[in-house]
Structure 1
């Protein structure tokens, strides 16, 4: 039982070590430190970093101020004659994300730069590399995609609702048009019937008067 647990711990450690690697190093402000990583195509690399500067008064390292330090990240494709594909300036602490376009060895260089030209103190840089597929470790983009997907679903629902309302309006217009045509048709036929009755009544009255005048020997 203990041996099985020991093997499980070893496998877990090997798995985690293949996905995540973290360390720190010391340097002076402006020093450029590079690391090489072999990445396959469409592999995502996240670098969680934090830059600390040495405080002479406190005699220890404290988190660097955004107003005093910038961090420059460079990514070069060593397999393509050290072609630089990324050069990005960032804040002293954050997350740098890189998606490999081609397979091969990539060089990642980090350079803490003091914004004040007189300031070049000691620095401590902590780095944590997380390597994996986009769908595995890029949770922020996945969350953004999920949010966008939800918004698209809401828009689709609104479009369907508008279409249903338009269909209902068209059906009501069709019913109103049929009713109007029916009323107009009924009114026309009623007018024709009235005209026929009126003509018949006039003809009958003329005949009746003619017969009356003949009997009275008026005509």
Structure 2
């Protein structure tokens, strides 16, 4: 039983890749006419959290393009048989690498003639809704991670700024005590 769960675990996790500066990663899906595909992605770290995304059909025609965005979703139905390409690009970045999580899922099209009974249709709808819920949950986890990192960074800066201010106040107070004490010293002249 546990072995089955361990074997299924990689199937439910999102794909995570690191995009180095000036690089592009492309992936391929072989699809038939009527197949549906959904691509969701979320940038979770690096730079301004933005990447370019492009999806092309088997003929190389651009189906979808989103430039310098941190998250996105695109659904489409295949119009032709062949290999569809989706690419994630960090080519515009000169310094920072990006961490990207993405999910690809699809539905193979079956007609009523191919034996799709109402129970199967309901199961397919349920599976689609569970997948959408899972994608939304992963998006929320990524957003929480980004916001937590921002809060921790801000907290650290406030801490160090407070320490520096405390040191400056103590130094100014010591200087004032020394200066006032010198003003009231009796100076002897011979």
TM-score for both structures, normalised by structure 1: 0.41
TM-score for both structures, normalised by structure 2: 0.46
Structure number having the greater helix percentage: 1
Q: Which has the larger radius of gyration?
A: 1
